[in-house]
């Protein structure tokens, strides 16, 4: 079997084993090809969305994972299907800091869940500068992480509940109030800077030089 197909098959079998019936992750292969190259994932995890200038809690998020032609030498491409407020998520999830060729698809899904919950984030090289600035301002507020579900730890409830995904999302013990995002002034709204008025002495010097010519 082709090495890429072997890896795709291994990933497919592993994610089915790990996330089948999972209370916080629902995984759907896209297309008819087996093993799949694309997946849609539903995360039932506490994360954030930006509503105007106010971050707000959201408990369900969707993403699509595309495994490129050069996978696993090339990392998966992951896009959110709804906006997610996070320094390293915008048009796509930036997973470069966590990716290596030996990283399994199950590991990637766990890391995506950690990102959504703000269990991991990097403000040094953000995709979303507004989220990065807000995170830096809230660093010592005690609100992080936003969610507290560890997808890397087996959940005993998965083994005893046949309809685990139908269970309601557990309420958070506390729901800290979220500070609004500071609005930065738009340079277009600032008055134009006019050049300084000419210096009278300089004008006189110019006239004097011209008169000598």
Give the pLDDT confidence score for residue 160 in this predicted structure. 32
Question: Which one of 3.10.110.10, 1.20.120.550, 3.40.50.300, 3.30.470.10 gives the CATH number of domain 3-178?
Answer: 3.10.110.10
Is residue 13 within a helix (H) or strand (E), and if so which, with residue range?
Answer: helix 3-19
Give the pLDDT confidence score for residue 207 in this predicted structure. 37
State pLDDT tens for residues 117-144. 999 999 999 999 999 999 999 999 999 9
Q: How far apart are CA 145 and CA 45, in angstroms?
A: 12
Give the pLDDT confidence score for residue 176 in this predicted structure. 79
| Range with lowest mean pLDDT among 19-28, 42-51, 141-150, 190-199 | 190-199
Identify the band that residue 108 occupies on the pLDDT scale cut at 50, 70 and 90. very high
Report pTM: 0.77
State pLDDT tens for residues 155-176. 434 333 333 334 444 445 567 7
As separate numbers, helices (DSSP H) first and strands (DSSP E) second, the chain gives: 5, 6
Query: What tokens appear for 142 in the block?
Result: 């005690």
Q: How far apart are CA 142 and CA 145, in angstroms?
A: 8
Compute the mean pLDDT over every residue in the chain, rounded to the nearest whole number.
83
Other CB atoms within 10 A of residue 71 CB: 18
Q: Is the pLDDT of residue 154 over 60?
A: no
Domain ranges of the chain: 3-178
């Amino acid at each position: 079997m082709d090495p890429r197909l072997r890896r795709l098959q291994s990933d497919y079998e592993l994610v089915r084993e790990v996330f089948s019936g999972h209370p916080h992750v629902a995984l759907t292969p896209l297309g008819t090809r087996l093993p799949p190259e694309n997946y849609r994932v539903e995360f039932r995890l506490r994360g954030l969305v930006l509503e105007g200038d106010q971050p707000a809690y959201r408990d369900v998020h969707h993403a699509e994972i595309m495994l490129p032609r050069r996978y696993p030498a090339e990392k998966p491409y992951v896009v959110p299907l709804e906006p997610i407020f996070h320094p390293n998520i915008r048009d796509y999830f930036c997973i470069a800091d966590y990716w290596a060729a030996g990283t399994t698809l199950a590991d990637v899904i766990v890391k995506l869940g950690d990102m959504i919950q703000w269990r991991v984030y990097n403000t040094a090289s953000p995709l979303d500068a507004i989220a990065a600035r807000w995170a830096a301002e809230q660093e010592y507020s005690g609100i992080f992480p936003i969610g507290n579900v560890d997808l890397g730890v087996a959940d005993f409830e998965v083994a005893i509940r046949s309809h685990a995904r139908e269970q309601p999302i557990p309420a958070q013990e506390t729901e800290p109030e979220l500070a609004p995002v500071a609005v930065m002034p738009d340079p277009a709204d600032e008055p134009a800077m006019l050049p300084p008025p000419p210096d009278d002495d300089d004008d006189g010097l110019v006239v004097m030089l011209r008169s000598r010519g």
